[in-house]
Structure 1
Amino acid sequence: MEPESDPDRKEDPDPAPSSSSSSSPSPFELLPPDALHEIMGRLTLRPALAARAACRFLREALPPESLPPLRLLALRHPRHSPYTILVLDPSFASPLWLSIPLSFLPFPSPSPVASSPSLLLLWADTPPSRSLIVCNPLARAYRVLPPLGSAWSRHGTVLAAPGGAALVLTELAALSYTPGSPHWLKSPLNLPSKPRSPILMSGSIFTLCDIGSPWRSQWKLFSCSMNCLGGWTQLERHDWGDVFDILKRPRLIPGAGGNRILMIGGLRSSFAVDAPCSTVLILGLDLGTMEWDEFGRMPPEMYRCFAGVAGGSAGGNNKVKVFGGDGRVWFSGKRARGKLAMWEEDREVRKGGGGAWKWVDGVPGYTEGVYRGFVFDAGFTAMP
């Protein structure tokens, strides 16, 4: 990983100069094995990669498979450099923007769309068709999946499963790929409408579908197992009441811990069809108890930066994008130039929700247009 200030740098990010040219051993080589193991075990991925580049002794003391993953937010923009992917390390108090080189891929303008642990999925032109590429950008290794038609890349939603498996969902069908298979498996989707913001959690897919009329949306939650893509079940309980009716253009995002779904949308001021929104509301569904709770509301002064005008609707005509995972939600919009809004779930709160709102300033690159993103666990736990 490299600082964003040098996005087009193409040299190997993990050189390993030999320590044999030095006549005296490094201080690390003089440490007792237990002390060395204790020090190495405390390093996170970024300093561990820097240590591996220092000398051969540290490279051998830090094998890639032993390095812990680093949770990042990967951003994509249609006009961003085709040779890098822009990432944010949210673990720092102030924004730390980095770029991960993609110059090892022999394809023009690859477009990252999803990720699983250590692996990125990217669309790329592989004439005469379009294909998904699975790669580990830190290991500079990739594999081309069986080709797909351009219609799938234009209209399909890509989900990345662990180990290099992948799903592509459209309004009528789903394609699934298992590593080692020579082709994609096609299944009818059997949903009442096009799936909206599908997410993959613990081997199951959750999505929203609009079962209303052309004049009024009516959102419902559906789920199915990855092993049975046609077996969708509508999740609904009487005590949920009007939970789906109070939100405009809702989206799903995985919550913290893998046992909670977050649903984010504009909070309607009334149940009228054309009712304006007053703010953004975040609801959480506990998959153990199947109960909804309110987790957060965007502060009015922050919401005004996205709505722009009185009664505006975040997520509507102002082209606000909502993305994230693992209890963090980011918002980008044309009116909020050069920055993102972020909400982070309070992981100590078990019921009733809670979280903190803040601005993430200094987004590098273009100020026009709207960024989209997804969570990426960078590391060496999986290879294409």
Structure 2
Amino acid sequence: MPPRQATHDTASDASATAATTSELEPGHSPPGAPIQLLPQDALHNVLGRLSLREALACRPVCRLFRDALSSFPFLSSLPPLRLLALRHPRSSANGGGRDSHGSCLQAFDPSLRRWIRLPLFFLPFPSSSPVTASPSLLYLWVDATAASTGDAKIPRTLAVYNPLSGSHRLLPPLGSAWSRHGTVLAGPGGAVLVLTQLAALAYSPGSDRWLKFSLNLPSKPRSPVLMAGAIFALCDVGTPWRSLWRLFSCRLLDLGEWAPLKRPEWGDVLNILKRPRLLAGAGGGRILMIGGLRSSLDADAPCSTVLILRLDLQTMEWDEAGRMPSEMYQCFGGGGLGHVAAAGGANNKVKVFGGDGRVWFSGRRVRGKLAMWEEDDKGGCGVWSWVDGVPGCNEGVYRGFVFDAGFSAMP
């Protein structure tokens, strides 16, 4: 039996060799890989099961993949890559979060717990400062000499940029005061808002100018968020000696019509936190308010921890969403975010940023890492963890914003 088996195997090998030789003779071409024989729609069906990160990594593999994965309609159908984009603590002097070579923006991928770099070298500006994002698009303040205008200086303005495609577009120019004091919000359909204490500027795609609106608010809107077709912001209606926070809102279509949001059952919920900040919760229907939890309502009351409250926009009810663990809180100095912010240049200064159900904390006493909180969709108190390996950690505290990198929109 063994010799017969060996003979059979040898015959098979000879047959295979003959077939191969025949295929390689003049007039015959070697067979391609099976995936190369697939119709275009079947190939896209296979590649459509990849994540956006995997699809971009596969493009250099071969010409077939490069051509199939360079189609914008196909790429725009892939789910975006949700990232935290960092703003450098010295954005005006160091390119707004760029690396030491000025060509990349540092970003964190929460799903893989990895840091990546987004390319900025396609921009013809030696200085740029990213401030916010909408799906697929970054918004950056730029003030530089454009490559296409020679030595002519262009005014300070906003640029819209897709870092994956390398394309950008300039919005109508703005003065430097708006870039120094304004808060930029990216609205739906490419709309952009810039808010200051007294006025707001609004831009719609296709327009050649900004529209100006009076805000009629008691103070500069603090940490405005855009959700459900409306803007929500905190305003201080107190005195120079004691802050008193109120929640205001307005419809996106009526920027001059702000109104306070209040309910008798809320009581003093807006003032149990020192220096509160608003962020968007998960799902688009909840607002997060983050700050240091006061031990009492006294103006100089110390804080015991960091508290995250959540407002459901349908029921208009608040609940506790998260509370920073004591051992993590002590790493930030134990003074509470309100105490830290009021101290200005104190060594334990802390920044709070994020959105869509995730909150990050950076501080001068926490070098090289961020604290991260993730909202629990089931109504729990969320998950706290550390994010290590923050790049450029010796430069001070960072700020940041959520960015859905993808091809769903172009400048």
Figure out how many residues of one structure are paired with residues of the other and give that number.
Answer: 358
Query: What's the secondary structure of 1:153's corresponding residue?
Result: helix
Shift of 1:312: 8.3
Instruction: Give 5+ residue unaligned stretches, structure 1.
Output: 1-21
Mapped partners of 1:83, 1:150: distance in 2? 24
Mapped partners of 1:53, 1:310: distance in 2? 49
Query: What's the secondary structure of 1:227's corresponding residue?
Result: coil
Aligned AA (1:320): V
Aligned AA (2:261): L
8 Å contact 1:83–1:109 — kept in the other structure? no
Q: Which residue, 86, 92, 110 being the options, matches 2:106?
A: 86
Query: What's the secondary structure of 1:115's corresponding residue?
Result: strand
Whether 1:111 aligns to 2:129 is yes
Partner of residue 56, structure 1? 63
Give the stretch that moved more between structures: 304-313 or 265-274: 304-313
Whether 1:182 aligns to 2:203 is no
Closer, same or farther in 2 for the Cα pair 1:34/1:151, shift >3 Å? closer
Give the stretch that moved more between structures: 222-231 or 46-55: 46-55
Partner of residue 320, structure 1? 350
Q: Which residue, 377, 384, 389 being the options, matches 1:347?
A: 377
Query: What's the secondary structure of 1:313's corresponding residue?
Result: helix
Q: Percent identity?
A: 68
Mapped partners of 2:261, 2:335: distance in 1? 36
Counterparts in 2 of 1:1-384, with a 5 A limit? 24-31=31-38, 36-62=43-69, 63=71, 64-77=75-88, 78=90, 79=94, 80-81=98-99, 82-92=102-112, 95-126=113-144, 127-307=153-333, 313-317=339-343, 318-349=348-379, 353-384=380-411
Partner of residue 147, structure 2? none
8 Å contact 1:308–1:335 — kept in the other structure? no
- String of CA shifts for 1:132-156, please: whole Å, max 9, x gaps: 0001111100000111110000000
Structure ranking higher in helix proportion:
2
Give the stretch that moved more between structures: 293-302 or 22-31: 22-31
Aligned AA (2:244): Q
- String of CA shifts for 1:66-100, please: whole Å, max 9, x gaps: 222110000011244332110000002xx310001
Mapped partners of 2:319, 2:76: distance in 1? 39
Mapped partners of 1:37, 1:134: distance in 2? 29
TM-score by length of 2: 0.83
Give the stretch that moved more between structures: 180-189 or 162-171: 162-171
Shift of 1:25: 2.8
Aligned AA (1:73): L
8 Å contact 1:337–1:368 — kept in the other structure? no
Shift of 1:314: 4.8
Mapped partners of 1:357, 1:46: distance in 2? 26
Shift of 1:165: 1.7
Aligned AA (2:47): M
Shift of 1:225: 1.2
Mapped partners of 2:333, 2:294: distance in 1? 13
TM-score by length of 1: 0.89
Give the stretch that moved more between structures: 315-324 or 190-199: 315-324
8 Å contact 2:291–2:336 — kept in the other structure? no
Closer, same or farther in 2 for the Cα pair 1:271/1:309, shift >3 Å? closer
8 Å contact 1:113–1:121 — kept in the other structure? yes
8 Å contact 1:266–1:314 — kept in the other structure? no
Shift of 1:42: 1.8
8 Å contact 2:292–2:337 — kept in the other structure? no
Query: What's the secondary structure of 1:338's corresponding residue?
Result: strand
Larger Rg computed on CA atoms: 2
Mapped partners of 1:24, 1:52: distance in 2? 22
8 Å contact 2:372–2:384 — kept in the other structure? yes
Mapped partners of 2:364, 2:163: distance in 1? 29
Give the stretch that moved more between structures: 36-45 or 140-149: 36-45
Aligned AA (1:337): R
Give the stretch that moved more between structures: 107-116 or 81-90: 81-90
Aligned AA (1:260): R
